[in-house]
Amino acid sequence: MINGYSIEVMPRTAAKIESFRELLPKGTRVYIANIEGTSLDDMVATARRIRDDGFAVMPHFPARLIPDAATFENWLIRYRDEAGVDEALVLGGGTAAPAGEYQDSMQLFETGLFDKYGFTRLHVAGHPEGNRDIDRDGTTHIIDQALLWKQDFSTRTDVDIAITTQFFFEAKPVLQWLERIRALGVTLPVHLGVAGPTKLQTLMKFALMCGVGASVKVLKRRALDLTKLLRPYEPTELLAEITRYKASHPDIGIAQYHFFPLGGVKPCVEFAARQADQQIQVKAV
């Protein structure tokens, strides 16, 4: 499952990479995170550079950062014409108040502009541990209904839709979520978000910022173990557990991994390469 992973960058982290062609495996999809305050010029320039290095690019389209249809259309045109982009991660966005008329990702789908400008592959956000910003009562009712809406949209259109999840640190809640959404009727392929190697303190900071809830207790237990506190976090055990589960549940819908390189792009890519080598060695034995 390591082979064929995707990875996420921001314009400022991408600027530190001398050559994506020399760093990433051929065929890697690169997401470009759109953080509030990042200019469209920087986003498009980063997309163009990575495309020129030979990789598929999937920029974020956060609905709450787009003030109006004219702005949305301008984004699509510039990504298409200047960077050759035809895919996107469509999400609500984490800002407390929307910049304009768009509250959620479904409103972007409903404009028809993705289709107009030839964006045929669209990924959507998955929240295995729920999202308190959306379901304020602690349930999953709203996000479940949103996934069902996107499932229906995929069925009645030619758009290639997949779910990309937030990162997590414990396999059990995520595997239970996969089983639950399948029971609801959501059959979209799922790309599981995984935090790459980094310092435990950095991981805790990002986990709290991104609203990763239930599985944070795994990090807290690790922080109490001094032998682990001093070592960088690596998701080795997490990946092994998920891989074992998929082997016994091949129809559960897990398509691949998506890495969030919180400790740096290069260390994350090197970690993935080591994991792939170990899998090859195990198969050879």
pLDDT value for 9: 98
- Which of 199, 263, 275, 269 has its CA nearest to residue 231? 199
Which residue ranges make up each domain of the chain? 6-284
* Residues β-bridged to residue 87: 121
Nearest-5° angle of CA 54, CA 59, CA 60? 160
pLDDT value for 224: 46
**Signed CA dihedral, 268, 272, 278, 281: sign only:** negative
The model's pLDDT over 43-86, given as tens digits with 9 standing for 90+, comes to 999 999 999 999 999 999 999 999 999 999 999 999 999 999 99
> Which stretches of the chain score pLDDT less than 70?
201-231, 279-285
d(CA 123, CA 119): 11
The DSSP letter of residue 33 is -
Fold exhibited by the domain 6-284 = TIM Barrel (3.20.20)
